[in-house]
């Protein structure tokens, strides 16, 4: 009687483990194949990137057009305080954005000068590694996505991101949206969100809202794999730096100094 029981237990546990491994694998491969919708197989795959021209940007003079445009079309709520705030793109002082590059900005005024920051859509995104449900993943074209329906709100991705690019909905955002854009989903409380590189606009062959909104054309954007794109030309013409490159994340938002 002892042997069949043991065998049953072994078989049962193996079956359960196999089933779970299979389901996990399915969810992983589903994640990998969640591509940009509707694209045909390109000869050279696209890799979206952005370059911020720090000389052209007039954030220091109070310009916030990119932020206003992004937050308006993506239904980003305004809670009016630092605790609950959600921001997809915002400005931060230069010496905080590039803390290890102090020597590039010795002037005190330059050090405090605001710089636009957003999700870097890294090549090796730490947030994707840490998400326990695969609710965030990297598309083949480089955009790091968030699935607002699968997210359980554990905020581990926020712990993984070294740039602080992600925000969490601490409260119901809907009452705090000034004017709802019905063409983009609103979120619920309890999920994480961040810049999505305007993937819904890219899908319609449009440029990201921040790029279009900038009155100084300080944001260059495009396919890094295409040498003729605006971003490729921008970073080959000037010195371009990344945020904290030593971390090995491979950010794809460059800053032209």
Partner 1 sequence: MTTFDDHPRPAGHVPGEDDSALIEHIGKTGRPFYLTLAVLAFFVLLAAAAYLHQYRNGLGVTGLSRQIFWGVYITNFVYFIGISHAGALIAAILRLAKAEWRRPITRAAELITVLALSFGVLNIVVDLGRPERVLNLIRYAQPLSPLVWDIVAVTVYLSASSFYLYLSLIPDIAYLRDRGTKPRWFYQSLALGWRGTERQLGFFKKSSGIMAILVIPVAVTVHTVISFIFAMTIQPMWHSAVLAPYFVVGAIYSGIACLIIAMAVVRFAFRLQNYVKPAHFNNLGILLLVMALLWLYFTLVEHLTAAYGGEPNHLVVFWSKLSGRYSLYFWAMALLCFGIPFVILCVRKFRTILGTSIASAAVLIGMWLERYTIIVPTLTTQRLALGRPLYFPTWVEWSILAGCLSFFVLLFILFTKLFPIISLLEIKEGRDEAVADFRVRLKSYFPAEAPGSSGIDNGGESQFNEHPS
124 lies in the binding site for partner 1 (CB under 8 A): no
**Nearer to partner 1 (CB atom), residue 69 or residue 97:** 97
Determine how β-strand 48-53 pairs with β-strand 253-256.
Answer: parallel
131 lies in the binding site for partner 1 (CB under 8 A): yes
Helix, strand, coil % in the chain, rounded to nearest 5 = 35, 15, 50
d(CA 78, CA 71): 9
123 lies in the binding site for partner 1 (CB under 8 A): no
Least separation in angstroms between CB 232 and partner 1: 28
Q: Binders of partner 1: how many residues, by CB under 8 A?
A: 53
d(CA 102, CA 120): 21
Mapping DSSP to helix (H, G, I), strand (E, B) and coil, where does residue 129 land?
A: helix
For the beta carbon of residue 51, count every other beta carbon within 10 angstroms: 25
Stretch that binds partner 1, among 27-35, 70-78, 210-218, 234-242 (CB under 8 A): 27-35
**Nearer to partner 1 (CB atom), residue 48 or residue 168:** 168
132 lies in the binding site for partner 1 (CB under 8 A): yes
82 lies in the binding site for partner 1 (CB under 8 A): yes
From the list 231, 242, 76, the residue with the least C-alpha distance to 169 is: 76
78 lies in the binding site for partner 1 (CB under 8 A): no
250 lies in the binding site for partner 1 (CB under 8 A): no
Q: Give 68's contacts (C-beta < 8 A, 6+ positions apart).
A: 213
Q: Between 155 and 184, how does the x/- string for binding to partner 1 read (CB under 8 A)?
A: xx-xxx-xxx--xxxxxx------------
From the list 207, 203, 166, the residue with the least C-alpha distance to 76 is: 166
- Under the rule (CB under 8 A), what is the footprint of partner 1? 20, 23-24, 27-28, 31, 81-87, 92-93, 96-97, 99-100, 117, 126, 129-135, 150-156, 158-160, 162-164, 167-172, 188-192, 247
């Amino acid at each position: 009687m002892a042997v069949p029981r043991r065998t049953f237990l072994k078989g049962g546990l193996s079956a359960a483990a196999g089933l779970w491994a299979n389901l996990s694998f399915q969810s992983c491969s589903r994640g990998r194949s969640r591509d940009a919708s509707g694209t045909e197989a390109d000869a050279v795959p696209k890799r979206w990137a952005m370059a911020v021209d720090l000389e052209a940007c007039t954030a220091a003079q109070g310009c916030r057009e990119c932020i206003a445009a992004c937050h308006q079309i993506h239904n980003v709520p305004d809670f009016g305080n630092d605790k609950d705030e959600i921001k997809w793109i915002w400005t931060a002082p230069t010496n905080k954005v590039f803390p290890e590059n102090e020597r590039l900005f010795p002037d005190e005024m330059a050090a405090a000068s605001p710089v636009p920051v957003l999700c870097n859509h890294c090549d090796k995104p730490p947030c994707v590694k840490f998400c326990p449900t695969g609710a965030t993943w990297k598309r083949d074209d480089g955009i790091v996505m968030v699935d607002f329906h699968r997210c359980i709100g554990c905020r581990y991705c926020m712990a993984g991101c070294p740039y602080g690019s992600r925000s969490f909905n601490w409260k119901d955002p809907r009452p705090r949206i000034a004017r709802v854009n019905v063409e983009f989903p609103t979120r619920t409380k309890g999920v994480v969100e961040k810049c999505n590189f305007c993937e819904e606009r890219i899908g319609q062959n449009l440029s990201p809202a921040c790029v279009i909104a900038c009155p100084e054309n300080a944001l260059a954007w495009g396919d890094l794999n295409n040498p003729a794109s605006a971003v490729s030309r921008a970073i080959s013409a000037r010195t371009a730096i990344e945020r904290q490159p030593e971390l090995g994340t491979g950010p794809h938002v460059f800053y032209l100094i």
